[in-house]
Amino acid sequence: MRPRRTAPFLVAVAALTLGACATNPVTGKQQVALISEQQEIALGQQGAQQAVAQFGLVQDHELQRYVSAIGTKLAAQSERPQLPWSFAVVDDPTPNAFALPGGPIFVTRGLLALLNSEAELASVLGHEIGHVTARHSVAQISKQQLAQLGLGLGMILAPQLQGLGDLAGQGLQLLFLKYGRDAERQADDLGFRYALQQNYDVREMADVFAALQRATEGQGGGRLPNWAASHPSEPERIAAVQRRVAAAGRSFEGTRSGKDDFLRQIDGLTYGADPRQGFFREGQFHHPELKFQFRVPGDWKTQNSTNAVIAVSPRQDAAFQLTLVPGETSPEQAAQQFARQQGLQAQAAREEFNGLPGVLAAFQAQTPQGTVEGYAAFVRHGGRTYQLVGYSPQPEFANNDRTFRQILGSFGPLNDSRILNVQARRLHVATLGSATTAADFARRESPGITPEQFAVLNQIDDPNARLPAGALVKVVRGDRP
């Protein structure tokens, strides 16, 4: 959750023109296009706003400019140079990259941490550009997905309690369209071609897949979510790169890797989850930046996103959501606004929350899925008003009534200086003074991660391998959580 305020998401479903025919820019073939290029662009822009609101951008202008310059160069030589391309690094620790219709492309800082050179980055951006130029995203869009775009986390009530398990994912369905393996292969092909056109050493595209595979295995075998899940297996993709390299029938001497430039750009990047933006520890949520805390039952599923902190009971019959009320709104005003929603009845009274002034409302809401019952609290703290809502479908409310009151009653100021001063871990680039094994160097210089994680970040297969003096490596400084 971030201190800054974000506009609430609006449900805006674009009108669809079904059945129009258009020429695919990459294949030159006629295909049924569900939407026009204009609609494609509009949809992508809307999704991009949502992605930025959801994840936030990495606050590093030089890094953003660097990634944008590389992407822009690749896209300019693609089949659709006229699109409003944009490239940005989002503040998310999960390795991922995604393309939205019409040109917006995002990579996460978690993916940058795994990469080792500009050529690798160009391969990733090229792949995502390929999804856009081949109009994969357009082909996948259905009316239903368009409608889902509106289900952002900023909504006051998410009435579909049965879907709360993947509440986090709902608003982002569109961002993580599954393209299917053929589309992924085509995007790999196109990415390879775009990167080679810019004289990158595209042999390193194979290193990206190897890095993803190492990261996946390091996480206990499950494949990485989203980016990797719908893609062909990494060994398959590596073999395909090798085939493309052979088929290129040329020397790669003089092509660009750009390892030093890339590492210099990611030096200082936040690594892993940023605890300053709030974190859960066994049901206890702390927000060092906003200086508040609260507690949910330890077995509830929790999620801390940019706009909201969410928790859901194991049986998915109860949900809790904390958001910031936008603007200079008092708890009383916020409670009035809340109570004015259609189909909602509320009884509100002033209440103190561990010394903080606020309003507590009991409410019932009519939703298409039935009646929902719960509590909403509006609490003033540090010049901001927080909205805390706990709710259940009415038949389940009685079972959860006490839990809701406990959660809301636990909201209060955070005063523990150890937690207030917690810092995110950061990536740094270090030079080896003398030859040493990766594991020894990691233990000494990279206390923020395990030697195994150090090997993954630096694309080293064996942590006991010796690294030569003068080698540039990524280390992580800071305390392990």
Q: Which residues contribute to the site for Zn ion (CB under 5 A)?
A: 184, 187
Residue with tokens 């810092």: 423
Least distance to Zn ion, CB of residue 127, Å: 6
Least distance to Zn ion, CB of residue 134, Å: 10
Least distance to Zn ion, CB of residue 117, Å: 20
Which residue number, 60 or 184, has a Cβ lying nearer to Zn ion? 184
For the chain, the first-to-last Cα distance in angstroms comes to 18
Which residue number, 127 or 276, has a Cβ lying nearer to Zn ion? 127
CA dihedral 401, 280, 323, 163 (to 10 degrees): -60
Q: By C-alpha distance, which of 301, 295, 266, 315 is closest to 408? A: 295
Query: What is d(CA 46, CA 44) in angstroms, rounded to the nearest whole number?
Result: 5
Question: What's the full length of the chain, in residues?
Answer: 481
Which residue number, 126 or 331, has a Cβ lying nearer to Zn ion? 126
Least distance to Zn ion, CB of residue 95, Å: 13
Which residue number, 187 or 319, has a Cβ lying nearer to Zn ion? 187
Least distance to Zn ion, CB of residue 184, Å: 5
List Cβ neighbours of 176 (8 Å cut-off, separation of 6 or more).
98, 169, 226
Least distance to Zn ion, CB of residue 128, Å: 7
Sheet holding 412-413, edge to edge: 279-281, 284-287, 292-295, 412-413
Which residue number, 137 or 277, has a Cβ lying nearer to Zn ion? 137
Query: What is the bridge-based pairing of β-strands 86-90 and 104-108?
Result: parallel
Query: What is the bridge-based pairing of β-strands 319-324 and 384-393?
Result: antiparallel
CA torsion through residues 303, 283, 286, 110, sign: negative
Least distance to Zn ion, CB of residue 41, Å: 20
Helices (H) and strands (E) in the chain, counts: 16, 21
Which residue number, 79 or 184, has a Cβ lying nearer to Zn ion? 184
Query: What is d(CA 396, CA 1) in angstroms, rounded to the nearest whole number?
Result: 29
Which residue number, 120 or 184, has a Cβ lying nearer to Zn ion? 184
Neighbours of 142 (CB within 10 A): 10
Least distance to Zn ion, CB of residue 125, Å: 12
The answer to whether 301 touches 311, Cβ cutoff 8 Å, is yes
Least distance to Zn ion, CB of residue 168, Å: 21
Which residue number, 184 or 201, has a Cβ lying nearer to Zn ion? 184
CA torsion through residues 360, 364, 366, 369, sign: positive
Which residue number, 133 or 255, has a Cβ lying nearer to Zn ion? 133
CA torsion through residues 322, 327, 333, 336, sign: negative
Which residue number, 89 or 105, has a Cβ lying nearer to Zn ion? 105
Structure tokens at 347: 């009884």
Least distance to Zn ion, CB of residue 294, Å: 38
CA dihedral 225, 227, 230, 235 (to 10 degrees): -100
